[in-house]
Amino acid sequence: KKLIIINGPNLNLLGTREPEIYGSLSFTEFLEEIKEKYGNAELDYYQSNVEGELVNKLHEVGFSYDGIILNAAAYTHTSVAIGDAVNAIETPVVEVHISNTFSREEFRHTSYISPNARGVILGFGLQSYELAIQSFL
Ligand code: DQA
């Protein structure tokens, strides 16, 4: 299976950013772990802090990959463009969040991704990504 994890803004700072919410492991360290663990899946990774670049990446992979694991981070709650892109592509998208966005501020309770996602996994820390990978295997 050809899968890709796409991370949105500020997730490049994982490990140092608000570790009480997001944990102290960097995403690069975590990625190495899961690449080993799910060695039979082909697992790509992309991160951008730029909304349009996330849209471009969804278009690029969205007609050939078997699955997309998307944490659009703050754009989840604001981006009609990313929501539309998820709707426009063929590859199924599983939306993930590290934190339980529903136990946080009100503005994190809405998602432009969810209506077009195959499923949503949130609140399990970095394990949310693993559960999403498993859903495609
Ligand atoms: C997040 C939750 C978002 O509300 C927040 O803006 C993030 C990370 C998460 O993974 O918990 O940047 O997507």
pLDDT one-digit tens code per residue, 84-122 = 999 999 999 999 999 999 999 999 999 999 999 999 999
CA 9 – ligand 1 centroid, Å: 9
Return the closest-CA partner of residue 121 out of 107, 105, 106, 135.
135
CB-CB contact of 89 with 64 (8 Å)? no
- For position 22, what pLDDT does the model report? 85
CA–CA gap between residue 69 and residue 77 (Å, rounded)? 17
> What digits encode the pLDDT tens for the residues 13-43?
998 988 888 888 889 999 999 999 999 899 9
Q: Is the beta carbon of 101 within 6 A of some atom in ligand 1?
A: yes
Active-site annotation holds for 59: no
- For position 24, what pLDDT does the model report? 87
pTM of structure: 0.97
Counted domains in the chain: 1
* Comparison of pLDDT for 26 and 70, the residue scoring more: 70
SS3 percent helix, strand, coil of the chain, rounded to 5, is: 45, 20, 35
- Structural domain boundaries, residue 110: 2-136
- Tell me the CATH number at 84: 3.40.50.9100
Q: Is residue 132 very low, low, confident or very high in pLDDT (cuts 50, 70, 90)?
A: very high
Q: Is the beta carbon of 111 within 6 A of some atom in ligand 1?
A: no
109 is in an annotated binding site: no
> What digits encode the pLDDT tens for the residues 41-65?
999 999 999 999 999 999 999 999 9
Q: Please pick, among 22, 65, 75, 112, the residue that the annotation labels catalytic.
A: 22
Q: Is the beta carbon of 120 within 6 A of some atom in ligand 1?
A: no
Q: Please pick, among 65, 75, 97, 112, the residue that the annotation labels catalytic.
A: 97
